[in-house]
Every structure is written in C-alpha cells, then in structure tokens.
Amino acid sequence: MTATLEQLAEDTAVYLLPRDGFDRMDRDGYFFEAGPLRASVQRIRLGDVEAAVEWTRSDGRRRGLQRVEWWAGWHAEPSDLGERLLSQGLVPDDPPSLTGMTCRNEPAAGPADVEVRLIETIDEQLAALEVDWEIWGVPETERVRRREIERGRFDALRAVSQHYAAFADGRLAGFGRGENLEGGGTALMGGAVLPEARGRGVYRALVRARWDHAVEQGTPLLVVQAGPMSGPILTSLGFESHGEVRLYSDRL
C-alpha cells in the first residue's frame, strides 16, 4: 500500500529504500533500524513500552552502539509514551522535537552566487561532512571513527542517496543529503550551513538541488522532519507541516 504524505512525514525512515549496513525490522508495535552509529525506533504503536525499551537497549549494546533514538510521531501510542520513556531512563533529545513536512510544488531556486555540486568521490564526501560535524561539535576522536565508516559505505549508499556540497564565493559552505523513498520522492536527511555563510540562500540552494533530483526521477516530492532552524525556511519554500515528532534518546 502506498504511504500517504502524512505517513511519510511522520515516520520517514520507515519508507526509505533499504541501505547497505542498516538492519531494518518490523517488530511487535514498532519499526526498528540499526546502523553503524545508532539505532532508531519509529512508527510506534506499543502495548508494552518497558519490554520494547529493554529489547532495543539490549540489541543496541550488543551492536556496540552509543544510543537508541525514539521518534514518537503524532500518532504514536500509548498516549503517555513520552512519560513512560522518561521513566525508563531516556532523555529528551536535542532538539526535543521535529516537524514532519512535505513539498509537492517547485521551491524557489538558490541565489546565483551559490553553487551546489553532487558529491562523486569519498574525498569530496569527507570534506563536506566536516561542515556537518563542525556545526554539531563532533569531537576529533569521533570524527576519526566516522571517516572510516564513511569510507566503507560510500559506494553502497550512492545507489540509494545523493550527497551535495554547496559553495559560496568558491568556499565550501554547506552540505545536504537526499535519500530515495519507496514509491518515489526524496527525503531530506541532513542539511547544514556554516554560521558565516548563513543568510545567503545556501540552505535554499541545497533544498532546490534535491528537488531537481526528485523531478529527474519522475517523482516530484520532498519529505523532511525539520528542526527549529530549517522549519521556517522550508515553510517559506512551500512545505506543508503535518505534525510534531518528539525525540527521545536512550544513551547506552
């Protein structure tokens, strides 16, 4: 059955194409995905919250992961899910919530002085990821580990995703990733702009590049779970908001 726009916006990761290095499974009342850095729980319709926390926590530790993320959409059950997750030792993530959004109309193009390039080599990928890691304060020890992970999965991920680097005045200024969705369309999974380059339309240009890809594939649709910084920009570009996704982190 084809997912609705609201379903795509609420539980985006559930509808991504399978990716090498990610284990995905439908369990009793939730969808679980484990990758090389973290695991996530989505499409949550639980009866026994405590048992689900125990299983995901145990599985995450078995895999050597640092955390399990719980993405509680606006249809998540039970109604007191957040309180019960907190009682099990989880904490609100940063940011504590995202807005599920979709766009089916052509967003505005980026400014002429911002160039967006499709990343085609691992060296370009690592250079662009430094933008993301710098913004999120990823320590150098963790960056070393992530570089090795990226080198190992770069070719496989290119089959189902697109990575872009944005340049302003010839300097690397931003990074964005698009993931192909089952049934067509592109999910905006990550977007970052260096502080000194903000306000120049870099993020807008990265959004437009991923829209152009979706159009080229014959499925003009963008889906995103937007943070507080990107949400207002996306609204101005014509994205529709569907609801709030609350984020909780189980730090292993």
Question: pLDDT tens digits, residue range 227-241?
Answer: 999 999 999 999 999
Which pLDDT tens digit goes with each residue over 8-30?
999 999 999 998 889 999 999 99
What is the per-residue pLDDT for 1? 57
Reading the block at residue 186, the tokens are 């592109």
Question: What distances in angstroms separate CA 133 from CA 35, 66, 99, 140, 215, one per listed residue?
Answer: 18, 17, 22, 9, 29
Reading the block at residue 31, the tokens are 């969808």
What is the per-residue pLDDT for 190? 80
Q: Count CB-CB contacts under 10 A for residue 4.
A: 11
Answering whether pTM is above 0.85, one says yes
Pick the more confident residue, 84 or 135. Answer: 84
What's the gap between Cα 98 and its chain centre?
A: 11
Q: What is the mean pLDDT of the chain?
A: 94
What is the per-residue pLDDT for 62? 97
Q: Region 107-135: what's the mean pLDDT?
A: 92
Measured CA to CA, the distance from residue 16 to residue 171 in angstroms comes to: 32
What is the per-residue pLDDT for 172? 94
Confirm if 36 and 247 have CB atoms less than 8 A apart.
no
172-176 contacts, C-beta under 8 A, 24 or more apart: 172/127, 172/128, 172/131, 173/114, 173/131, 173/197, 173/200, 173/202, 174/131, 174/202, 174/203, 174/205, 174/206, 175/128, 175/129, 175/131, 175/132, 175/206, 176/116, 176/203, 176/206, 176/207, 176/209, 176/210
What share of the chain has pLDDT > 90, as a percent? 83
The model's confidence at residue 110, banded by pLDDT at 50, 70 and 90, is very high
Beta bridge partners of 215: none
Measured CA to CA, the distance from residue 205 to residue 116 in angstroms comes to: 7
